[in-house]
Structure 1
Amino acid sequence: MAPLSRIVSGTSCRPFFCSSAYPKMYRILHRAFCTAAEPATVSIKSISEDLYKEVKLKRLVEKFKKASDIDRFRKNTGIYEETVRRLAGAKRFRWVRDILEHQKQYSDISNEDFSVRLISLYGKSGMTKHARMVFDEMPQRKCNRTVLSFNALLDAYLHSRKFNVVEELFKTLPTQLSIEPDLVSYNTFIKAFRKKVSFDSALSVLKEMEEKGVNPDSITFNTLLHGLYSKCSFEDGEKVWGQMSAKNVTPDARSYCFKLVGLLREKPDEAGEFLREMMKVGVKPDLFCIKVVNNAIIKRIVDEGNLDEMKNYLVNIANFGLDLDKDTYPIFIPFLREKSDWKTAIDLCFEIFKRRGHVDVSLIQLVVDKLVDGGMISEAKEFVDIGKESCRYRVNLPSYVSS
């Protein structure tokens, strides 16, 4: 058979296309080929970049829904995560629902991976009612529910801090749906108990895993170690540490990090020696480990009530080029408020705005009120404006101050 180029451009076919009997057919074929080729020329990267740059959230939603018609766009999990994160962060939950419900019209919804993505996105937005709805609708969309979607549902409720629901689902759904929980299921279950500070229950899950023949991994043990060592259950933490070797699970950087936190809280005199041991065995802490240990040190300084040491530590953090963690501010600022060090508190609040940190909005409001009381009206107005722009801290000037 002749190559397509010869069939289209060769002299042998010219009478066919040039014949007066076929001009209409030629135009139809031409349009068909051009239309079919069009989606392939669409750059998903350029669409994604346009969505990232879109500042008007309503327009973002419209663009996202339009782009969803493109099959390759729907395979881009990153832009889904980022868009939903932005909308949920701005508390535009109606629009989160709008773009995710829009996805149900596509054939992808009969694929479990696609449904799992919607469940997870709803979960990360705190919209567990809708996450459960996607899960419940899967059978009518001819989509099988396996341990994969079960785990996504558990994680959705975990993200929303509905730990009791995680426990309820873990105990009821596997039997109802003939699903066998796997390692991920058990790890999520243990995380729920850790966040509830219910360590006896968490440890009982470890025993259940052994009975079911599910071998724990480093995530299982680190979840337990994190909770036990950070909540001053040092002895229980040591028992779990010993169980790791019995299960042939080698402690990793995070395991060592959590034990170091426990030592800083309970046995600070031994922390230095343990840190040297970490270095000797070649443990390389990641950024998460550094932040966890950093917060443990800060918490100890706060508990001791030493303001000067706190300020020195702030300087050291800056000198080493380390950023404050979002979990650090809630430790720092109440302490500075208690010590009436408003200047440092104000500086840290501006740092929160700059880095999009998370603290209770009432704390920011107290700083605004303090600025007004001190006659720093322009600075107070700046706080209010920045807070509104971030859509996160809606603080107000006192009623007697003109905006």
Structure 2
Amino acid sequence: MSSSVYRRLHGLFTATKTTPSLPKSPKPTTAPSPAPAPAPARSLSPADSSDAKTFRILVKKFKKASDSNRFRHRNHRSYETTVRRLAAAHKFSDIEDILEHQKKYPDITNEGFVVRLICLYGKSGMFDHAQKLFDEMPQLKCERTVMSLNALLSACVSSKKFDKIGELLSEIPEKLSIKPDLISYNTVIKAFCEMGSFDSAYSVIEEMEKNGLEPDLITFNTLLDAFYRNERFADAEKVWELMKEKNVVPNARSYNPKLRALVAGNRIPEASELIEEMGIKGIKPDVFSYSALIKGFYDNGMLEEAKEWYKEMAKNDFKTLQVTFTKLGSLACEKGDFDFALELCKEAISQRCLVYSSMMQLVVDGLVKESKMEQAKELVELGKSNGYFHYKLKMPLEV
């Protein structure tokens, strides 16, 4: 990549540092703010000795398990789960402890192994630690290539340290003779989208092409998702046109942001037509496509239409999302279609999908009210056997 391109990208990030949508980067501390966790967890008090002991045991067991070559190579999920749990509890020193511990193993000379650790630091919001590990790689006798550069860029995005990306791009590639690749550029585009700097995100394609690279499906899907989420429909149309021009074939992930945007704008007929258009073009809708459309019918109280698309989704053997079961079930109860609500509950249980017991209770009550005692009993037994709830059936009052 030429130095002019470095300056251009660095300038773009510098120019957007003051944009209102740019999240403020936290000041470096010994306990950095983590990236948002998938599920909120309570912050642990220092006085909570029971929880403190639990985390000490967790760290000790993890470090011992790390002695196993098989664990280090095969249990990627254990690394992710443990670090995510510690980050949610703000146990940053423990994260540093278990990841620094990995340096004692011969794997640390393998770039792929180090990349995993850099990414884990990034997902914990510990960008300074990720960069420190990147800088230490030569001392650890580990080669640095574009793969580790991309991991560091990704750690920037995960940690919301968007302003650091410009610095990395202006310093590391020339200093270390590492040429950014398509993944590097896609990460930069994602960063601009997260910042809300959409024009800058789109302009990266031009810089990419100057360096002899062509945007791919990930490039376009990232832009489409950002543009539709922020109601920039004209910009999204520019992306579709560019995809045609470059012969990049869209997939369901390309269409889903548009589907969600149409549903959010209550343009349900257009959303239905879009799914039909996907089929005509040979693009198979996925579970998120169907769920987006079903949500639109749910929001408008259109049960029969929602049922039709649910059946269409079932024909394609997709596992229904929990939120879809919940929405459809509550709408079916509201409309008095307890037979369909029963069908949904049974299907959810068979898929081992969580269904709120309160909704199942509504279905049981509705079936009892309609004197469908056998069906009600069947659902109660299914609920009990799957740990949902205990319900004492009430016989209808005799008139």
TM-score (norm 2): 0.59
Deviation at 1:265, TM superposition (A): 5.0
Listed as ranges, the gaps of 5+ residues in structure 2 are 1-52, 315-319, 327-352, 355-399
The answer to whether the 8 Å contact 1:234/1:266 transfers is: no
Deviation at 1:314, TM superposition (A): 12
The one-letter code matched in structure 2 to 1:141 is: L
- Matched with 1:73 is 71
Count of residue pairs brought into register by the alignment: 267
- Matched with 1:122 is 121
For 1:98 and 1:288, the matched residues in 2 are separated by 39
For 1:134 and 1:253, the matched residues in 2 are separated by 37
1:58 to 46, 56, 62: 56
Structure number with the bigger relative contact order (C-alpha 8 A, sep ≥ 6) is 2
For 1:310 and 1:166, the matched residues in 2 are separated by 47
- Matched with 1:230 is 229
Q: Percent identity?
A: 52
Describe the shift of the 1:91–1:149 C-alpha distance in structure 2 as closer, same or farther (beyond 3 A). same
Describe the shift of the 1:310–1:323 C-alpha distance in structure 2 as closer, same or farther (beyond 3 A). farther
Deviation at 1:90, TM superposition (A): 2.7
The one-letter code matched in structure 1 to 2:54 is: K
TM-score (norm 1): 0.59
Larger displacement relative to structure 2 (128-137 or 82-91): 82-91
The answer to whether the 8 Å contact 1:124/1:160 transfers is: yes
Q: CA RMSD in A?
A: 3.4
Describe the shift of the 1:71–1:245 C-alpha distance in structure 2 as closer, same or farther (beyond 3 A). same
Describe the shift of the 1:206–1:114 C-alpha distance in structure 2 as closer, same or farther (beyond 3 A). same
The answer to whether the 8 Å contact 1:232/1:265 transfers is: no
Greater C-alpha radius of gyration = 1
Listed as ranges, the gaps of 5+ residues in structure 1 are 1-54, 329-353, 356-403
The one-letter code matched in structure 1 to 2:80 is: E
The one-letter code matched in structure 2 to 1:85 is: R
Describe the shift of the 1:88–1:65 C-alpha distance in structure 2 as closer, same or farther (beyond 3 A). same
Describe the shift of the 1:180–1:67 C-alpha distance in structure 2 as closer, same or farther (beyond 3 A). same
The answer to whether the 8 Å contact 2:252/2:286 transfers is: yes
The answer to whether the 8 Å contact 1:109/1:143 transfers is: yes
Describe the shift of the 1:227–1:80 C-alpha distance in structure 2 as closer, same or farther (beyond 3 A). same
Deviation at 1:92, TM superposition (A): 2.0
The one-letter code matched in structure 1 to 2:283 is: V
The answer to whether the 8 Å contact 1:154/1:188 transfers is: yes
- Matched with 1:274 is 274
Deviation at 1:317, TM superposition (A): 12
Q: Does 1:213 align with 2:209?
A: no
The answer to whether the 8 Å contact 1:317/1:323 transfers is: no
Larger displacement relative to structure 2 (190-199 or 279-288): 279-288
How far does the alpha carbon of each residue in 1:72-93 deviate from its partner, in whole angstroms, 9 at most, with x for none?
2221222212221222233322
Deviation at 1:246, TM superposition (A): 1.2
Q: Does 1:151 align with 2:157?
A: no
How far does the alpha carbon of each residue in 1:316-366 deviate from its partner, in whole angstroms, 9 at most, with x for none?
9999953239xx9xxxxxxxxxxxxxxxxxxxxxxxxx98xxxxxxxxxxx
How far does the alpha carbon of each residue in 1:78-112 deviate from its partner, in whole angstroms, 9 at most, with x for none?
22122212222333222111111111112221211
